Structure 1
Amino acid sequence: MLLKSFRATAILEGISYLALFGITMPLKYWAEIPEPNKYVGYAHGLLFVVFIVLAAAVCLNKKWGIKRFIIFGIASLLPFATFYVEEKYLR
């Protein structure tokens, strides 16, 4: 159950990252429509925190080392990387 939740969060976090920087940031700065950025930003922030907490929980539960947790942490900062993590490490 924990791994399944982490997989879902990884996908949602990746989608929110892309929505934030690919859709709502251009709307905010180019079209001067800031409202969507606020709400997508909140969602992305929450999903980021949940992703990191679940990464720690899964790493402890599965007895994965700190190296894998660091990979997950770096992946949370890079576009498309959470999709890669979900595919390579969580299936």
Structure 2
Amino acid sequence: MKKSVLTRYRVMAYVTGVLLVLLTLGVIAKYLLKIDGADSFTTAVGIAHGWLYVVYLVFAFDLGSKAKWPVAKQLWVLLAGTIPTAAFFVERKVSRELESRVADGAPAPVKA
């Protein structure tokens, strides 16, 4: 497996996780704290999170299919982008698991 597959998953996991935390804070500000301007913030972040979550799904599915994960693990990784802060923990676990496989799959340097 190429390192770029893991890297793009990691980037999208962080982006999705940050946007979901911001969306959660925006919803709290909008409905519980009744802060002015939270409505437009929540709308903008919600739209961004929705579109980027689709990109996250594509990259996570690609990573899972190349890593040959079982269906249950694949579903857990896909759903991690919908639970606030879960994407950070799942990304760290997946990265630790796959870094050795990515490093082992790298071609050996050519000796002169």
How does the TM-score come out when normalised to structure 1? 0.87
CA distance in 2, matches of 1:57, 1:45: 19
Comparing 40-49 and 59-68, the one that deviates more: 59-68
CA RMSD, Structure 1 to Structure 2 (Å) = 1.4
Alignment of 1:41-80 (within 5 A): 41-80=46-85
Rg larger in structure: 2
How does the TM-score come out when normalised to structure 2? 0.72
**Structure 1 alignment gaps of length 5 or more:** none
Runs of 4 or more, structure 1, over 2 Å off, are 26-29
Identity of aligned residues (%): 30
Question: For 1:14-62, what per-residue CA distance to the aligned partner results, in whole angstroms no more than 9, with x for missing partners?
Answer: 100000011x223433114211111111111012111111111111112
Matching residue of 1:11: 14
**Structure 2 alignment gaps of length 5 or more:** 97-112
Q: Work out the number of aligned pairs and report it.
A: 90
CA distance in 2, matches of 1:27, 1:42: 17
